[in-house]
Structure 1
Amino acid sequence: MLRTVTMAALALAALPALAQTGPAHLRPTRDVAVTYRMEGGSPQQPKEMRMAWDVSTERQRIEAPGAPGWMLIDRKANTAVMVMDAQRMLMQIPSSAAAAMMQDPPADTVFTPRGTDRIAGTACNLWETTITAGKSTVCLTEDGVMLRAVTELSARPGLPQGGTMRMEATELRYGTVDPSHFTLPEGYQTMQAPPPNQPGGQPPAR
């Protein structure tokens, strides 16, 4: 679950902050909600994922397939929390995992233009780049919304042959998103997620 959310967040949020010859904007400059179709990274059928940005607070909401709830990433606070409404619980993501979702690749990352496309009725520019996870091609709008990401994943534990992960927007809606979508609910119990590769977690605490 956490791996799926992390890969999604990396594809959408962890783009280079400095790229003088690359896209004008690497993150959304306007409030927006996007629905994506996800393929690859597992033998399962394509799944749907929803993302929303609140630009003023630098908060990002992710509803990823297979997750027990939705995730709130707060870039100002450098935190990530999984909200499980059915259990009325909040799972604090370890700082190292949260940082991986928000970190920027090296400033010397090179973007190579690959033309233009139109996805979900919206024009975007194609860029090819190499990231830690592998080679990636993304299609970004002029205002920084990613409409497609195709990443050739390098071999790693759990994915020894590598693979291809594809995310493509099927719906794009600009405009203010309900503020409650970016607010942690009150009265929920909290727990700390286990570090990567360790099972279990700390008992809930108020």
Structure 2
Amino acid sequence: MLSAGIAVVGGLLIAFAHPVCAEDAASPSASADSEAPFVTPLHDADITYVLTTGPSGGHLRQRMRWTSALWRQRVETEGSATVMLTDYRTHTLMVLDRTNHTATVTPAPGTGFAAPGTPATGTWRRVGQGHIAGEACTIWDSVDSDSRLTTFCYTDDGLMLGAVHGGKPVVEAVSVSRAPQPVMIFDPPPGYHRADLPH
């Protein structure tokens, strides 16, 4: 996911920070080049983020795991009984309820997905270099569907490490791992009841 306007909990990481950028949106500072970051991990990843929530500046931790073999993402938010599993090949979102042992399947949010190794669409401007969670990243400006400036920091291999939206920090990585991820964590555990909601 980041994506999607940019909703933080449950949406920001779902689309790897793909802002909803129209192709004809005005650049934050019109740039003639067409450079854009990779916004989908090239390799397996396990990243823990701190999310800033609400006007009081509360914080939550959110863990995002990605499997490059399946193009699937797993997102777990601190204090939540639900887990979000997104399959970007089938464009479906599965919400696991660990209390009731259910798996609810719906179309994934967002309208676009940049495959690994494919630059993001939309309007981007390279700003400079950053360093978050021990990782070097490139800082990019973009605009969301409401034409508000959003700044992201992406590694060269497509890991989103930080985002500032409307001038306010909303997410920052605190740990990053590129260790291979077990594929079974991207499916519901045995015994979960699956419900497919109509599109």
Both proteins in one fold, TM over 0.5: yes
* Alignment partner of 1:186 is 2:190: yes
Aligned to 1:171: 175
State the secondary structure of the residue aligned to 2:9.
helix
Could you tell me which runs of 5 or more consecutive residues in structure 2 were left unpaired when the two chains were aligned: 1-6, 24-32, 115-119
- Equivalent in 114, 122, 126 of residue 109 of structure 1: 122
In the TM superposition, 1:48-87 aligns within 5 A as 48-65=61-78, 67-87=80-100
Identity of aligned residues (%): 26
Is residue 15–residue 26 contact of structure 1 (8 Å, CA) maintained in 2?
A: no
* AA partner of residue 161 (structure 2): L
Runs of 4+ in structure 1 displaced over 6 angstroms?
Answer: none
* Alignment partner of 1:137 is 2:146: no
Query: How far apart are the structure 2 equivalents of 1:68 and 1:41?
Result: 20
Query: How far apart are the structure 2 equivalents of 1:62 and 1:76?
Result: 17
Normalising by structure 1, we get a TM-score of 0.74
Structure 1 residues 108 and 140: CA distance shift in structure 2, 3 A: closer
Query: How far apart are the structure 2 equivalents of 1:27 and 1:62?
Result: 14
The structure richer in helix per residue is 1
Normalising by structure 2, we get a TM-score of 0.76
Is residue 40–residue 165 contact of structure 1 (8 Å, CA) maintained in 2?
A: no
In the TM superposition, 1:9-88 aligns within 5 A as 9-10=14-15, 12=16, 14=18, 20-23=34-37, 25-41=38-54, 43=56, 45-65=58-78, 67-88=80-101
Query: How far apart are the structure 1 equivalents of 2:59 and 2:178?
Result: 25
Aligned to 1:118: 131
Deviation at 1:193, TM superposition (A): 6.5
Deviations 1:5-31 (A, max 9, x none): 123324x25368x994122x2211011
Q: CA RMSD in A?
A: 3.0
Query: How far apart are the structure 2 equivalents of 1:125 and 1:182?
Result: 29
Structure 1 residues 79 and 164: CA distance shift in structure 2, 3 A: same
Q: Which moved more, 1:168-177 or 1:79-88?
A: 79-88
Number of corresponding residues? 177
* Alignment partner of 1:8 is 2:17: no
Query: How far apart are the structure 1 equivalents of 2:121 and 2:158?
Result: 19
* AA partner of residue 39 (structure 2): L
Q: Which has the higher contact order (CA 8 A, sep 6+)?
A: 2
